[in-house]
Amino acid sequence: MTSEPRHILVVVHTLRDDAIDAAERVCASLRDAGARPVLTRDDLDHLRGDAARLDGVDVLGETAALDDIELAIVLGGDGTILRAAELVRGSAAPVLGINMGHVGFLAEIERDAMDEAVHRVIQRDYDIEERLALQVRVKDADDRVLYETWALNEATVEKASRERMLEVVIEVDGRPLSSFGCDGVVVSTPTGSTAYNFSAGGPVIWPTVAAIAVVPLSAHALFAKPLVVGPDHAVAIEVAEHTNGTGILWCDGRRSHELPPGARVVVRRSADPVRLARLHPAAFTDRLVRKFHLPVIGWRGPAGGAS
């Protein structure tokens, strides 16, 4: 009796030569191990001219269905990992990031451990970590849903014009909190707390903490400090009807929707988390120190090895 083929999605940063070489190598290793490498049509079309060894791979949505995908191996940085999370959204497939970029905060390992990663995937030797994601809805003044999407890192309401300030009202669980003019508002997950939220002055949130951060951008207000609310609260940003300009919603920097005056963006925890494959258990503190090159000179550690 033959077993069902194992389909492994390979998502590639097609503008990086090293990622193209890595894609050839990973696909060849998967085939040698009896698995079926899968690429998106766009990635395959970008890579085919330089990668003869990619002939014969399956194509997502054509010769391999989304529900067939066991896991996604990502060759790139955080942006490519976000694209992979978008591709497998709605399935049970976890995402394993191999960092080919600079910081690569979401990546599990660096490029020099790529062969080990493929071997561990074939052996199903990995853990799965679920990360909180956001459900994002744009509503009109009559509470009708105009647009719906999701985010792993953040949902950001920004002004659409550089010359005009955006007037917003922040709401939590249906109650108004504060109104002010600003450049925008970032609503972040713990995963996204080291991304735009961090650059905007928001707090770093450990991935094990279920929370949502709200960070105003360049707000003209006395009370416009970052907020952290529980995961079961709903945060809304209303674009004031009297505002001079329009806004725009961005989710993970990948999906956008225009926000006219009077629009409401309602953000809450999604019922569907994002699943990340982990090969090595590691403290989040160590990841912060390594990725941000934080100075720890002078640290002695707790006496006796215990805190």
Active site residues: 78
The pLDDT of residue 74: 95
Q: Which residue has the higher pLDDT, 40 or 50?
A: 40
Do residues 90 and 72 share a domain?
yes
Do residues 140 and 127 share a domain?
no
Residue 181 belongs to domain spanning: 134-269
Which among 137, 105, 107, 90 has a CA at the least distance from the CA of 11?
107
Do residues 96 and 111 share a domain?
yes
Kindly report, residue by residue over 154-200, the tens digit of the pLDDT: 999 999 877 688 999 999 999 999 999 999 999 999 999 999 999 99
> What is the reported pTM?
0.91
The pLDDT of residue 160: 85
Do residues 141 and 245 share a domain?
yes
Lowest mean pLDDT among 25-34, 97-106, 176-185, 215-224: 97-106
Do residues 89 and 209 share a domain?
no
Do residues 258 and 143 share a domain?
yes
Kindly report, residue by residue over 49-104, the tens digit of the pLDDT: 655 567 779 999 999 999 999 999 999 889 999 999 999 999 999 999 998 866 67
How many percent of the chain have pLDDT more than 90?
Answer: 68
Residue 306 lies in a domain: no
Give the chain's domain count. 2
Contact of 181 with 167, CB cutoff 8 Å: yes
Do residues 124 and 50 share a domain?
yes
The pLDDT of residue 1: 45
The pLDDT of residue 2: 53
CATH at 83: 3.40.50.10330
Question: What does the alpha-carbon distance between residue 16 and residue 32 come to, in Å, rounded to a whole number?
Answer: 25
Do residues 106 and 140 share a domain?
no
Do residues 165 and 118 share a domain?
no
Do residues 103 and 119 share a domain?
yes
Residue 297 lies in a domain: no
pLDDT interval class at 48 (50, 70, 90): low
Do residues 113 and 215 share a domain?
no
